[in-house]
Amino acid sequence: MKLNQDFTMAVETVQFLQKSKSNDYIKAAQIAGKLGFSFGYLQKVMQTLSMHGIVECKRGRIGGARLRKRKVTLLDLWTATCGALDAIDPPVSQIKKPLKAFSDAMSKAVICK
């Protein structure tokens, strides 16, 4: 288990979409420009977030992305970008207590409401 760029981009993207306080779609190019991300890589992360129901994406000239879920936790973003916590090495049985504490803390950290 390691912190990766996808997770970091997901957190910053969700925060950006939440701060926009608009229900309109925001273009990925605009998000990438404002946050200093690679446009192509951001599209990959947005697709992942869309598959997990966190953002809603629309293609085309008037398309873009907007938040689908009203409440997003760090655990939601971790699961979407890094995978489920039970799919780690070493096995969960060896690190059950620390992993539970990590999971609990992530699920309480709300990125947006």
Pairwise pLDDT comparison (100 vs 20), residue with the higher score:
20
Q: In Å, what is the CA distance from 44 to each residue of 48, 84, 97, 112, 113?
A: 6, 19, 33, 21, 24
Report the domain count for the chain: 1
Kindly report, residue by residue over 19-36, the tens digit of the pLDDT: 887 788 999 999 999 999
pLDDT at position 86, please? 63
Residue with tokens 């997003």: 72
Q: Which of 53-57, 61-65, 80-84 has the highest mean pLDDT?
A: 53-57
Distance spanning both ends of the chain, measured CA to CA: 27
The encoded tokens of residue 105 equal 């803390």
* pTM of the full structure: 0.77
Question: Which domain does 89 fall in, by range?
Answer: 5-112
Greater pLDDT, 3 or 106: 106
Tell me what pLDDT residue 35 has. 93
- Looking up residue 45, the CATH number of its domain turns out to be 1.10.10.10
Residue predicted with more confidence, 57 or 94: 57
